[in-house]
Amino acid sequence: MALDSKSELREFKIVGTRPLRPDGIDKVTGKARFGADITAPGMLVGLVLRSPHAHARIVSIDTSRAEAVPGVHAVVTRADFAEPGEDVADILDNCMAGAKALYDGHAVAAIAASSGKIARDALKLIDVVYEVLPHVTDVDAAMKPGAPVLHEGRTDETVPEGLSPNVISRHEFGHGDIEAGLAQADRIVERTFQTEATHQGYIEPHACLAQMGPDGQADLWCCTQGHYMARNVCAEILGLEQGQLRVTASEIGGGFGGKTTVFLEPVALMLARKSGRPVKMVMTRSEVLRATGPTASSSIDVKIGMTKDGRITAGFAELRYQGGAYPGSPVDMGSMSAFAPYDLEHVKTIGWDVVTNRPKQAAYRAPGAPMAAFAVESAIDELARGFGLDPLEVRLKNAAREGTRASYGPTYPAIGLEATLRTAKDHPHWSAPLGENQGRGVACGFWFNFGGDTCVTLNITPDGTVTVSEGNPDIGGSRASMSMMAAEELGIPYEKVRTIVADTGSLGQNEVTDGSRVTFAVGLATIEAARAAIREMCKRAAMVWGIEPEAVEWVDGAAQPAGPNAGEHPPMTLAEIAAIASNTGGPIAGHHEANPEGAGVSFATHMVDTEVDPDTGAVKILRYTVFQDAGKAIHPAYVEGQFQGGAVQGIGWALNEEYIYGEDGVLQNAGFLDYRVPVASDLPMIDTVILEIPNPGHPYGVRGVGETSIVPPLAAVANAVSAASGVRMTSLPISPPKLLAALHER
């Protein structure tokens, strides 16, 4: 469905305003029910036994002592699960280890008992015999021949011979001739960058409640970014029919990509099947950090050439991402996005997907892009500063725009990068004075955004109010946005529409809440569902008036004759048509099911001021401004919220957050005390500037906004630290000891 008007954006009445969110009161009063807040009569508590080893063959598991404990109703190991299909094999193996435990924290057994205390005590009575194997957690070490091998036979046809079987795939993108491009450069910067794994860090640990009857009907409540995904995956793993497994999404306490797969859910269903009782499982924070998806860690070589007037002549990057114990790190996304903001004649990226003895990575907000942007944007900054050039001017000079052939292949339609850069340059932040030990950094970022399967049903109630049912968990205010778009189309007040997230029994298939897709794709389906309802309401009015439906139009929430030839009839409002629906053919609804693809790519420029303490190496964020293209901001407050939240997660990635493994391959900092996410006192206000370059693929021009905002901050912060201290930090996080050591070396 294309933009409603190519020439000018329509006048909106509701879209672009800031109404109160429909779930607000429940969330400020403690009434909202999140994953761990659901209970069922007769419920058991399920707990997981996890591997204390980074890599070990599971020789045997004896559950008999645990099963004998009064109050224990079921014990589950991998032996309880049938051989999985290929597409869920890794997911199941990650939920419950098979032949080997592949990382510290890998699930090896689970218990359902009548109380948490009994379950905890009984876990200790499960006897697991491990044969400990050598392990590897570093990406570069894992690639070398002779490194401890996780899996044999998983390497695909893209990988040349001679590397470790831990190397899964190789991805190459780009165009032109790098050597020819480098030959034109006045200076070449060649550096290696490293980023550590970070966790999405949602405050709500994974939680679910499962019940299953002997007839194969099952119910599951869980906090997830996609309950349809949870249904389909669990049904396949458990051998259930999808139609017999009803999944209800609880309120979700953050996801950021980390709740786009299942961890506990198949285990809870299996415990429920074996025990015949509802089973609730809730992870501890330590389990979340040890066994759910952090992002990939990376090691990236970059080589960029530039002329002295700031033209990039060639860009090359070789990216190595370890994605934990299973194939599928987002190195392909990193390789495609690394140079996406720039118009380059010669560009090439090579990406390597590598497995290590770490938890299976899960998507994290623009998966794969932030680390690639860190490397490329740092190198560009170094070149610009080396020539004494303005880093924003250099980016403007090389910026991709409409008609540019993207580094990943296609030619860009209208995009917003240049607008973010120009707006940044004109912003007072750019010219504000800086003090001693202070420095300013900028960086750009890109993300694709996408669509996917989507269903929306919009019902007109007899009293003329409207309910919208959609199938995507609301992680950042999307119910408000859907209600706004429905109200905008229908021409009724926002308060007359209530949007709910429906269970899997109520709608068809819905893609996960990911890829910044919800406002785009679900919004599009909501608009279409409203238009379908409008067509029906026009038909009902036409019946009453005795004219043709085509002679009726919908204006400001009412049907009216389209022109003088249609006769003299006073407008019939939505409420008036709803009141007589039973007399004109029955209830009125509109629905739309589609797989809208063609989401618009989005760009951002971030600007940050930092102060470096030369005595401690601590970095303080003094000022931060986000400039991002939203296409069209439906609810600007929640767009700002996405910009701010992404920026701060990026600041955490840049400065504090990291997975720290000991020599034994065991995670050393599996708690929020030592895995330090940014707190309120670490930060200033995060200023935002929303730009609106409409996406031609959406009726209102919406692009996704959720992911792009985490792409630039890693580099923006590193560039600001470099400006403040004169030290170029190539390894994240820029923690105080690391920076202090670099300052001393200077």
**Cis geometry, peptide bond prior to residue 733 (ω within 30 degrees of 0):** yes
- Reported residue count of the chain is 746
> What is the Cα–Cα distance from 526 to 506, expressed in whole angstroms?
16
Least Å distance, CB 170 to other proteins, is 6
H-type helices in 389-477, by residue range?
A: 391-398, 417-426, 428-431
> What is the Cα–Cα distance from 102 to 323, expressed in whole angstroms?
12
Least Å distance, CB 581 to other proteins, is 32
Nearer to other proteins, 368 or 617 (CB): 368
Pairing of strands 312-322, 297-306: antiparallel
Judge whether 360 and 293 are in contact, CB under 8 Å. yes
Partners of residue 107 on adjacent β-strands: 50
Nearer to other proteins, 204 or 611 (CB): 204
**Chain centroid, CA 189 distance in Å:** 32
> What is the Cα–Cα distance from 273 to 460, expressed in whole angstroms?
40
Least Å distance, CB 97 to other proteins, is 24
Nearer to other proteins, 331 or 729 (CB): 331
Pairing of strands 207-212, 454-460: unpaired
Least Å distance, CB 239 to other proteins, is 24
**Chain centroid, CA 725 distance in Å:** 33
Judge whether 308 and 247 are in contact, CB under 8 Å. no
Pairing of strands 207-212, 279-282: antiparallel
Nearer to other proteins, 157 or 745 (CB): 157
Judge whether 101 and 322 are in contact, CB under 8 Å. no
Judge whether 219 and 192 are in contact, CB under 8 Å. no
Q: How many CA atoms lie within 13 A of 485 on its CB side?
A: 33
Least Å distance, CB 559 to other proteins, is 34
Nearer to other proteins, 382 or 514 (CB): 514
Would you give the end-to-end CA distance of the chain in angstroms? 57
Least Å distance, CB 733 to other proteins, is 17
For the chain, the helix, strand and coil percentages under 3-state DSSP, each to the nearest 5: 30, 25, 45
Least Å distance, CB 681 to other proteins, is 4
Least Å distance, CB 393 to other proteins, is 27
Find the helix packing angle between 369-386 and 713-725, rounded to 10°. Answer: 30
Least Å distance, CB 77 to other proteins, is 26
Give all strands (DSSP E) within 527-601, no chain letters: 552-555, 558-561, 572-573, 588-594
Partners of residue 168 on adjacent β-strands: none
Nearer to other proteins, 77 or 449 (CB): 449
Nearer to other proteins, 55 or 698 (CB): 698
Structure-block tokens of residue 172: 């190459």
Nearer to other proteins, 278 or 557 (CB): 278
Nearer to other proteins, 200 or 211 (CB): 200
Least Å distance, CB 280 to other proteins, is 10
Nearer to other proteins, 569 or 620 (CB): 620
The counts of H helices and E strands in the chain are 20, 26
Nearer to other proteins, 446 or 545 (CB): 446
Least Å distance, CB 162 to other proteins, is 16
